[in-house]
Amino acid sequence: MVKIMKIKAKVFLSVFVSLVLLSSVFVLAGKPDFSTADVVPSNGNAVVSIPENAVEVSQGVFDLGLGSDEGRLVQGYAFVHYKNSVNSEKPAGVGGGKNGASACYGYIANGAKWRNLESWTINPANSRGLDEANVFSNLDLDIVKWEDAADGVIDGNSLNILGTGNSTSNTLVADTSSTDGVNEVYFADVSNSDAIAVTIVWYTIGSPRFKQIVEWDQVYDDVDFDWSLEASGVAGKMDIENIVTHELGHTFGMGDLYDSNCANETMYGYASEAETNKRTLESGDIEGVSKLY
């Protein structure tokens, strides 16, 4: 009798394990893996690839799907900043914005903005010989530009929107499947060789009145592009301040612009080597971020 019971127990356990494994297959099949690539460059930071199952809702804007953040349902988007020569025209879509002579601004989502302070971290290690302390200082300075503009006037009076930052030598990984509670910035290889940088933003689902950005990550490609921290633009090199200021616009909730009437705005979607005009915020950038905050 005891032997029969043991045999039945083994059969039950075998069936149970099989069912668990089978259910796991269905779960994985229904929820694609949006993880970053597992290749690690010399500076230790993770290579970034846009997930194959991500949906490109407009040129350079990828829907990463839904994720979870502290029990809240969140939506993720990746904004890929391509070199100017890649596309002659970029259609508006998510983040397309209100384009026009008097309204050169747009948002990544209606009402999506920061409502709580969070710290951010940067690994400034790079393969282009840039001084790491200066890389950190530049990012901090560019954040202050947007925080200054949030009251509608560039006058040195800044709102504290993104909190404070710190520098680390730890390996950082941009989050393409869900949040991890860390806002990360680093240099690495972006798998698309035409992509200068990628900004990933996650925000809560719901009414625009309560929609909240909860996490941001940025990756700057120092494998396919050279970079400069010089006072003026350098031929053949992407200007750090120029590109970072633009990418931070997405972090604050601003969308790209592709109307030629808005070509002088920081959030205009094209970029090229030696360009520096995006270092400063223009009227549309200021109007847009001040209305948001």
Domain edges within the chain: 55-292
Are 120 and 163 contacting, i.e. CB atoms less than 8 angstroms apart? Answer: yes
Does CATH number 3.40.390.10 belong to domain 55-292? Answer: yes
Give the residue from 160, 217, 161 showing the smallest Cα distance to 184: 217
The predicted pLDDT at position 276 comes to 97
pLDDT at position 235 is 98
Q: From the first residue on, what is the mean pLDDT of each consecutive set of 10 residues in the chain (293 residues)?
A: 39 33 29 35 70 92 95 96 63 41 85 97 97 98 98 95 97 94 96 93 96 98 97 97 98 95 94 96 98 97
**What pLDDT does residue 164 have?**
97
Q: How far is CA 47 from CA 34, 199, 216, in A?
A: 13, 14, 17
> How confident is the model at residue 270, as a pLDDT?
86
Using alpha carbons, select from 156, 171, 145, 173 the residue that is nearest to residue 245: 145
Residue 59 has what pLDDT?
80
Angstrom CA distances, 60 to 7, 93, 199, 214, stand at 58, 10, 11, 21
Q: State residue 10's pLDDT score.
A: 40
Which H or E element spans position 27? helix 2-30
